[in-house]
Amino acid sequence: MRVYIPATFCTLRGLNESGVITARSGYGFAVTPALREYYTEGDDEEIAHAAFQDAAEASIRLLAVGDEEQFPYRRVVVSVDVDDKNITFVPENGESVVKLTPAHINLVDVAAIHIDVESSEPDTKAAIEVIDASDLGDEDAELTVGDAQDNFMAWYDPEELPFLVELL
């Protein structure tokens, strides 16, 4: 199953060094039965995009922690392929949420890397500042987070990871 792992650029550096990415607290986002049920319309690609967007929003939450020094305002999502037997659906945490056991994914199972482009940084920065308020239902904050979510994330092949870490 394709799973979207929220990350930061620091996570990518770790993946490049160790060849392993660990899903934070063991959670990722995927097309689950609950997500399919939630969307009464839309094809598989549109539903997968919703799961991806959930991961991109979770990346904003990771950036809000403030640990990312090199690119503190760029969302990162790592798309990985995980054996179904290692996935548990956790709909009580959100329609697209899955628990990965084990939470460690090898680089060979990474399908793609997605990173905010530079021009997205102001919107992501604004979203980081209001992500908690958005989670609590503040409409203005939700719109600010939505602006960040509307931005393009560049796609990279996993083979490009060493170059991304070195040149970006």
Identify whether the C-beta of residue 148 lies closer than 8 Å to the C-beta of residue 126: yes
Q: What is the pLDDT along the chain (168 residues), one digit of tens a residue?
A: 999 999 999 999 999 999 999 999 999 999 999 999 999 888 999 999 999 999 999 999 999 998 898 999 999 999 999 999 999 999 999 999 999 999 999 999 999 999 999 999 999 999 999 999 999 999 999 999 999 999 999 999 999 999 999 887
Identify whether the C-beta of residue 127 lies closer than 8 Å to the C-beta of residue 144: yes
Using CA atoms, how far apart are residues 113 and 125, in angstroms rounded to an integer? 20
List the beta bridge partners of residue 114. 77, 155
* Single pTM value for the model: 0.95
The DSSP code sequence of 55-83 is HHHHHHHHHHT----S-TT--EEEEEE--
